[in-house]
Structure 1
Amino acid sequence: MRCSGLPGEGRPSRNTRPRVPVRRDRYRSPALNAPDLAAVVDDLRGRSVNYDEALAPPHVTDGWHQDRWAVELGHEAPGEPEPGGLVAAADALVNGYEFTDPSLLRAAYRYPADVVGRDMLLQGRFAMFRFHMGVRITAELDELREGPDGPERVVGWAYQTLDGHLEQGKLTYEIVKNLTTGRVEFRIDAYSRQSEIRNPLFRVGFGLFGRHTQLRFYRAALERLKARLPHPPGEPGPDPDGLVRVPTGAPPDHATWAEIHVVHPGR
């Protein structure tokens, strides 16, 4: 005989509702120890672009920053880019992501890797914080355009932000040669906006300093690529864990014990 006075007898259990699995990022919480970068880079394959392109420029412009920056790199003889010339050297630096200021941004990606489809883990650096965020190269450029001063040969690539990034948007890096004058430029064409950020401290901090830091990055990238052209580093190679870390020759941190690492700080 069953005893009807037992707790829970005669009423449904609170635990009968099926559980819905929820993805939990292993490294979501801030940590003093650096994460396993190889594991985080490999995880990027399962992440998607974190915005709807139909709701971004050029279709929708409200709420988006749109930036276009350029610096003259020098000249070649008129006509298509010269083999081993200025355009080729600048394109190699862009392809290797060697133009970033390591005090602001560093990157890691799997070797070898095609350009299109390459997942890169960016490490944004602000004070003691190290924000690890994913992007994916989604387009490679090698095309002839009609520019304001005549035809232009454009080479480069574009990446888009992935789930967990502090921003949403697309950055295009171009080496552009005017075929009439021989003028060569490095251009950055971008649109972006703040992503949804879970942590209120990071959300407020990004609102206060994010745009300023972004503009610093653009200016520094133009200056650094031009400065590295006379003595470019060799093609970046992988470390023992199979990752390429760029920019090449970035100085090590002097106080790693004080770094706070945050992986995928956005939604």
Structure 2
Amino acid sequence: MVREGRLRRDRAVRTLRALRELAVNYPEPPPGRAPVTGWHFDSYVQPLPAESAGAPVPGGPWETACRLVRDYEFADPHILRGLYDVHEPLPGRDMLLEGRFCGLRFDMGVRVTSHTDAVRGSGDGARRVWGWGYQTLQGHLEEGELRYEVVKHLATGAVDFVITGHSRRAPMRNPLVHAGFALFGRLTQRRFYRNSARRLRGLVVAELRGGPPSVPEPHPYGEGLVIAPGDGPGRPERNGRKERNGGNGREVRKDGEGRRVGKERSARNARRPRRGA
């Protein structure tokens, strides 16, 4: 059976409902550099199409990106897809993620624990920010938190998609999975950041050019349940063309206390991370 079929089963719905009984699988990360604590601290910034300065333009790049991020349509479906209930409020919503790793499939539960809808800063530095973040639940392959935010710089009209988070490997009983994750987990994680950020940009560009919107797929076994990304339009990251004027994102390296370390690097060079990132 194809990979996407697993999330369409009734069993996936039962697994999603059971997440309500699970807790976050880690304490808050301690301060300190990643090599000492075992935590990785990440930040990835992807420029999106700009719009006019000032408040967000109705139906413009910022609003379009916010909807795609809200629906989890930006995620790279070759690495992660999610099952969730749209009737649940975003804060506190459980999601069942199906991850693809080393040719295997893993069900991983997460819970939305943060939601941002605010203006940050003032004057020329004011930014309109919308986004959300989730934390990993018991049984996940990782421990940590990821946040996805769409940021508009009000003075210039520039729009960015920002991924931030901290993570480390969770304890694993299977030695083969543990070894595989130790070797390839971090590479897959960074590839997810890059591919998802580029996918979001491609989806926004496609909609602004008049293409059909990318929406989650309704689940056959429950009203309000959806699978995202859906099977609709959009695998823009595979269309063989590069977007101009900001198509590449950049990875921002940070230490364990959230401070930037060294220079920002383009996504093109992100495959060779420096130690301590």
Taking structure 1 as the reference length, what is the TM-score of the superposition?
A: 0.76
Percentage identity across paired residues of the two chains: 48
Contact kept in structure 2, 1:109 and 1:120, CA below 8 Å: yes
**AA paired with 1:244?**
V
Paired position in structure 1 for 2:40 = 65
- CA positional deviation for 1:110: 2.1
Aligned to 1:209: 184
TM-score (norm 2): 0.73
The one of 132, 135, 160 aligned to 2:107 = 132
The one of 133, 138, 142 equivalent to 1:163 is 138
Corresponding residue for 2:13?
38
Aligned partner letter, 2:226: V
Higher helix fraction: Structure 1 or Structure 2? 2
* Structure 2 equivalent of residue 96 of structure 1: 71
1:81–1:142 CA distance, 2 compared to 1 (3 A): same
User: Which is greater in Rg?
Assistant: 1
Measure the CA separation in 2 of the matches of 1:179 and 1:35.
Answer: 45
Superposed CA RMSD: 2.2
CA contact (8 A) 1:102 1:250 kept: no
Distance 1:35 1:197 in 2: 27
* Alpha-carbon distance, 1:123 to partner: 0.8
Residue 95 of structure 2 aligns with which residue?
120
Question: What is the distance in 2 between the residues matched to 1:240 and 1:35?
Answer: 8
Asked if 2 retains the 8 angstrom alpha-carbon contact of 1:111 and 1:238, the reply is no
Deviations 1:192-242 (A, max 9, x none): 001111111111111111001001000001110001112353543532212
| Distance in 2, Cα, partners of 1:77 & 1:250 | 29
2:216 pairs, out of 236, 247, 266, with: 236
Which stretches of structure 1, 4 residues or longer, exceed 4 Å deviation after superposition?
A: none
The answer to whether structure 1 residue 249 and structure 2 residue 231 are counterparts is yes
More moved, 92-101 vs 142-151: 142-151
Residues 1:112 and 1:153: Cα distance change in structure 2 (over 3 Å): same
Q: Distance in 2 between matches of 1:147 and 1:171?
A: 26
CA distance, structure 1, for counterparts of residue 16 and residue 45 of structure 2: 30
Structure 1: tracts of 5 or more residues without a match: 1-30, 252-267
Decide whether the 8 Å contact of 2:215 with 2:228 is kept in 1.
no
Hey, what's the Cα distance between the residues in 2 that align with 1:148 and 1:69?
25
Aligned length in residues: 216
CA distance in 2, matches of 1:171, 1:204: 23
CA contact (8 A) 2:73 2:215 kept: no
